[in-house]
A and B are shown apart, each in its own frame.
Chain A
Amino acid sequence: MIQPVDEDAPERPRLATRELSAFFGRSRVVSNVTLGFRDQEVTAIIGPSGCGKSTLLRCLNRMHETVPGASATGIVTLDGTDIYAAGVDPIAVRRHVGMVFQRPTPFPTMSIRDNVTAGLKILGRHAPRGADAEDVVEGALRHAALWDEVKDRLGESAIALSGGQQQRLCIARALAIRPQVILLDEPTASLDPLSTQKVEELVYQLKQDIAVVIVTHNMQQAARVSDRTAFLLMGDLVETAPTNTLFTAPRDPRTEAYITGRFG
């Protein structure tokens, strides 16, 4: 299958897929996607419901295979190393490629502080403790633009936070382990406009240091926050381009039809 040519494609991406396909049982939901994600860049993946965008995202840190019957073929490289190669520990992959989901998923019985440090347990015996752990908590919460709102109640339950705060707490949890890439799966789908704006500002902050990949069904959000946009349709990567180009003068008529609402 011939892939769409992207003349401005990232040269040396932090994370990249080559001929990536994903399946649920025998049903193929992502087809031969080749795409790169560079540091200090936000890549948005857009497309209609069921186009495979969340599945594609979940392949990027081997979350896809956690669903029974799910599988993937092709290559996903992180700093040039195939994360699907034999002997690679998926847990180790997720240390470097963090993920935030559509609905905030704080651990309900844990405090705000413990929610942030929960991610550190993945580090096993290397996990920071005591004062070091406190530094990590503050750093991650600051990075997630939540510190000022929660610094006086770190011991309280995470459930007491608003939806937008909970989502930023989940981002802080993902950031605590200092990932190189962060994957956001419709992170503002259940948030009000003000919380959405805060998360979008946070996305802008995050990309100063790492690569950010965001799946969104909200095209205006993709237009606002991303540097590059990839359009996925029925599992195929139709077009990928600088966001400005994709939303003002897309090359493929299917992209045009989708983003102007003239589809189906």
Chain B
Amino acid sequence: MTAAIEPSGGFRHFHDQLAELKQRLLDMSEKAEHLVELAVSALLTRDRGKAELVIVGDKDLNGLEIEIEQRAIALLALQQPMARDLRFIIGTIKISNDLERVGDHAVNIAESSLRLIEANSNIIPDPELEDMARRARLMLSEALDAFIQADGALGRDVCRADDVVDALHNSVFRILLTHMLEDARTITPSLELLLVSRNLERVADLATNIGEDAVYLAEGKQIKHHFED
């Protein structure tokens, strides 16, 4: 026989609340991705206004994290969810925490941008940094898709993509080091860009966490710290 997947009886209310929780998580991830994009754009276009928008926008993210956590706790306490529902709610709590951290990294990048603008530095970020930013944002968005669609394969893809971002971070470090050795006047702005690179690398790490949560949701398997091997 096949299992019907329509909610029955008293569970309908619970599933409505789960759908609501999922929507909040989507809102939060959209906002987090947007903040990273805005922060990188502030850096590349030297736009003070955008950097300030990131700093203000992070407060919404903090509020969403609290709201998601409260909703998730209420569902755990009142509904005693099992199996996939349990894995989904646990994942939601962890992801909202990760997304909040993504917001913090976006703020760090925005603050670096503001300092670079302030210093009137004419250093141009290397294309590797732009590439990192693009990849980290893509990982974030795919990790969330993987979780929302419970797509374990996509979750694993995201985890693998982290290696590329780590490698780019190393390249950026070496490039900036070369700049600094060549011209001591670039030391301050180069260190600022190194911080940006570090923050992007962390965003990719957090996306990897979310990818791992997606695999746990989809397959019930823990793959973090190579636990699976």
Residues of A at under 8 Å CB distance from B?
219-220, 223, 233-234, 247-250, 253-264
On chain B, the residues within 8 Å of A234 by CB distance are 1
Q: Is B63 an interface residue (CB 8 A)?
A: no
A254 touching B1, Cβ below 8 Å: yes
A234 to B84, CA, bound (A): 23
Candidates A247, A249, A257, A259; contact of B5 at CB < 8 Å:
A257
Q: Tell me whether A249 and B87 are in contact in the complex, defined as CB-CB below 8 angstroms, given that A260-B82, A262-B11 are known contacts.
A: yes
What would be 5 A-B contacts, judged by CB atoms less than 8 Å apart?
A: A247-B86, A250-B220, A257-B3, A263-B8, A264-B6
19 additional A-B pairs beyond A248-B83, A262-B3, beta carbons within 8 Å, are A233-B1, A247-B82, A248-B82, A248-B86, A248-B220, A249-B219, A249-B221, A253-B3, A256-B3, A257-B4, A260-B11, A260-B84, A261-B8, A261-B11, A262-B4, A262-B6, A262-B15, A263-B3, A263-B8
On chain B, the residues within 8 Å of A263 by CB distance are 3-4, 8
B83 touching A259, Cβ below 8 Å: yes
Candidates A248, A258, A261; contact of B14 at CB < 8 Å:
A261
On chain B, the residues within 8 Å of A260 by CB distance are 11, 81-85
On chain B, the residues within 8 Å of A223 by CB distance are 82
For B215-229 the 0/1 string (1 means CB < 8 A from A) is 000011100000000
A256 touching B7, Cβ below 8 Å: no
A220 to B80, CA, bound (A): 8
On chain A, the residues within 8 Å of B220 by CB distance are 248-250
Give the number of residue pairs across the A-B interface with Cβ within 8 Å: 59
Q: How far is the CB of A252 from chain B (nearest CB, A)?
A: 9
Candidates B8, B9, B87; contact of A248 at CB < 8 Å:
B87
Look across to chain B and name the residue whose beta carbon is closest to the beta carbon of A254: B3
On chain A, the residues within 8 Å of B8 by CB distance are 261-264
Q: How far is the CB of B11 from chain A (nearest CB, A)?
A: 4
Most chain A Cβ neighbours within 10 Å, of B3, B4, B221: B3
Q: How many positions in chain B have a CB within 8 Å of any CB in the partner chain?
A: 23
Residues of B at under 8 Å CB distance from A?
1, 3-11, 14-15, 80-87, 219-221
Q: How far is the CB of B40 from chain A (nearest CB, A)?
A: 38
B84 touching A256, Cβ below 8 Å: yes
On chain A, the residues within 8 Å of B86 by CB distance are 247-248
Look across to chain A and name the residue whose beta carbon is closest to the beta carbon of B221: A249
Q: How far is the CB of A184 from chain B (nearest CB, A)?
A: 21
Candidates B4, B9, B82, B87; contact of A259 at CB < 8 Å:
B82
A219 to B5, CA, bound (A): 19
Look across to chain A and name the residue whose beta carbon is closest to the beta carbon of B90: A248
Of all A-B residue pairs in the complex, the 8 with the closest CB atoms, nearest first, are A249-B220, A257-B3, A261-B11, A259-B82, A254-B3, A260-B85, A264-B4, A247-B82
Look across to chain A and name the residue whose beta carbon is closest to the beta carbon of B82: A259
A149 to B14, CA, bound (A): 41
A247 touching B83, Cβ below 8 Å: yes
A219 touching B82, Cβ below 8 Å: yes
On chain B, the residues within 8 Å of A248 by CB distance are 82-83, 86-87, 220
Look across to chain B and name the residue whose beta carbon is closest to the beta carbon of A264: B4
Q: How far is the CB of B87 from chain A (nearest CB, A)?
A: 7
Q: How far is the CB of B88 from chain A (nearest CB, A)?
A: 10
On chain A, the residues within 8 Å of B83 by CB distance are 247-250, 255-256, 259-260
A247 to B85, CA, bound (A): 10
On chain B, the residues within 8 Å of A259 by CB distance are 82-83
Look across to chain A and name the residue whose beta carbon is closest to the beta carbon of B88: A260
A247 to B81, CA, bound (A): 9
On chain B, the residues within 8 Å of A254 by CB distance are 1, 3
Q: How far is the CB of B170 from chain A (nearest CB, A)?
A: 37
Q: How far is the CB of B206 from chain A (nearest CB, A)?
A: 24
A258 to B10, CA, bound (A): 13
Q: How far is the CB of A225 from chain B (nearest CB, A)?
A: 14
On chain B, the residues within 8 Å of A253 by CB distance are 3
On chain A, the residues within 8 Å of B1 by CB distance are 233-234, 254
A65 to B4, CA, bound (A): 34
A258 to B221, CA, bound (A): 20
A107 to B82, CA, bound (A): 39
On chain A, the residues within 8 Å of B81 by CB distance are 260
